[in-house]
């Protein structure tokens, strides 16, 4: 078995580059790291291009044998612990990562779902990953993201999505406004979150709706606000005026769950 020990190896350099968005876009691939994430990628039948394994970790039985049996079915590359730490994104690597093809190859919107979440320039990777996780948790399978939204395949987003990145189709919109106009033509109504003169989220029926979540600092863009059929807000009893974008998304989506009786 050949073990790569040089940082200048072409495979190592190509994996290292995937930390940058421009290379993720160019290669249409991203990295997942850790035993749980790689195991889930295999279970979810994600398009795994390659698996990188730390030779020392494999010898020390850090990676469960049953997972190693599954990993062996893929294109595997072994590297020294020094090289693995060089390409790793975490402080204490578990010794395994995978290069996975993005799931955004199909850009068609599924109009059979009751509700579609659209993100208008969400910037925080933690928020984005949590929103993906929440969308997955309520049984939705797609999300629309504006061009200005943080990269859904950023390592921090991937980690905080807790595997949802494998199941939720990310539809990247060159112009979110135009995409929303097309969605409206398919008999969906646009809901935007707003602190102004808005309806209570508990007074809405969540069938054939697009829920637009705005930028953390500036909210929903004015052009999209003007396109909206309804403006909604979460009622609050305290002095806080607004909630974190991911928290707000979760509250609204679980009102949808309550109305559907999916519990």
Provide DSSP, 156-196. HHHHHHTTHHHHSEEEEESSHHHHHHHHHHTTPEEEEE-SS
Task: Specify burial of residue 112 (Cβ count, 10 A radius: 0-12, 13-18, 19+).
Answer: exposed
Q: Does domain 115-260 have CATH number 1.10.1740.10?
A: no
Percent of the chain with pLDDT over 90: 80
Q: What is the pLDDT of residue 113?
A: 95
At 54-100, the pLDDT tens digits run 988 766 677 888 999 999 999 999 999 999 999 998 888 899 999 99
Question: In sequence order, what are the residues at sequence separation of 6 or more whose Cβ sits closer than 8 angstroms to the Cβ of residue 133?
Answer: 160, 161, 162, 164
DSSP type of residue 144: E
CATH code for 3-101? 3.30.1330.30
Edge-first strand order for the sheet with 189-193 is 169-173, 142-146, 115-119, 209-213, 189-193, 230-233, 199-200
At 138-147, the pLDDT tens digits run 999 999 999 9
At 1-47, the pLDDT tens digits run 689 999 999 999 999 999 999 999 999 999 999 999 999 999 999 99
User: Domain map of the chain by residue range?
Assistant: 3-101, 115-260
Average pLDDT over residues 107-132: 95
Q: What angle do CA 10, 14, 16 make, to 5 degrees?
A: 115
The residue ranges of DSSP E strands in 25-148, in sequence order, are 29-33, 48-54, 76-79, 96-101, 115-119, 142-146
Q: What is the pLDDT of residue 197?
A: 72
Average pLDDT over residues 229-257: 91
Backbone torsion region of residue 150, taken as left when φ is above 0, otherwise alpha when ψ lies between -120 and 50, otherwise beta = beta
Is the model's pLDDT at 105 over the cut of 90?
Answer: no
- Tokens describing residue 145: 């993201």
Instruction: Flag whether the pTM goes above 0.75.
Output: yes
Rounded CA-CA distance 219/83 in Å is 42
Is the model's pLDDT at 261 over the cut of 80?
Answer: yes
């Amino acid at each position: 078995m050949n073990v790569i020990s040089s940082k200048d190896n072409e495979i190592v350099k190509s994996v290292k580059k995937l930390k940058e968005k421009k290379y993720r876009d160019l290669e249409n691939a991203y990295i997942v790291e850790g035993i749980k994430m790689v195991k889930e990628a295999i279970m979810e039948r994600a398009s795994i291009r390659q698996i990188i394994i730390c030779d020392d970790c494999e010898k020390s039985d850090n990676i469960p044998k049953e997972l190693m049996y599954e990993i062996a079915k893929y294109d595997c590359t072994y590297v020294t612990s020094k090289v693995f730490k060089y390409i790793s994104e975490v402080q204490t690597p578990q010794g395994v990562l995978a290069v996975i093809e993005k799931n955004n190859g199909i850009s068609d919107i599924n109009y059979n779902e009751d509700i579609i979440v659209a993100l208008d320039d969400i910037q925080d990777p933690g928020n984005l990953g949590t929103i993906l996780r929440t969308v997955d948790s309520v049984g939705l399978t797609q999300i629309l993201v504006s061009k200005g939204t943080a990269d859904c395949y950023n390592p921090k987003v991937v980690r905080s999505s807790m595997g949802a990145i494998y199941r939720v189709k990310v539809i990247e919109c060159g112009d979110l406004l135009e995409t929303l106009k097309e969605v409206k033509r398919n008999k969906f109504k646009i809901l935007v979150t707003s602190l102004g003169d808005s309806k209570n989220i508990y007074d809405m029926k969540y069938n054939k709706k697009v829920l637009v979540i705005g930028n953390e600092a500036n909210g929903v863009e004015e052009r999209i606000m003007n396109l909206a059929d309804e403006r909604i807000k979460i009622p609050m009893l305290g002095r806080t005026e607004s909630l974190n974008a991911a928290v707000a998304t979760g509250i609204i989506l679980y009102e949808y769950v309550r109305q559907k009786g999916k519990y």
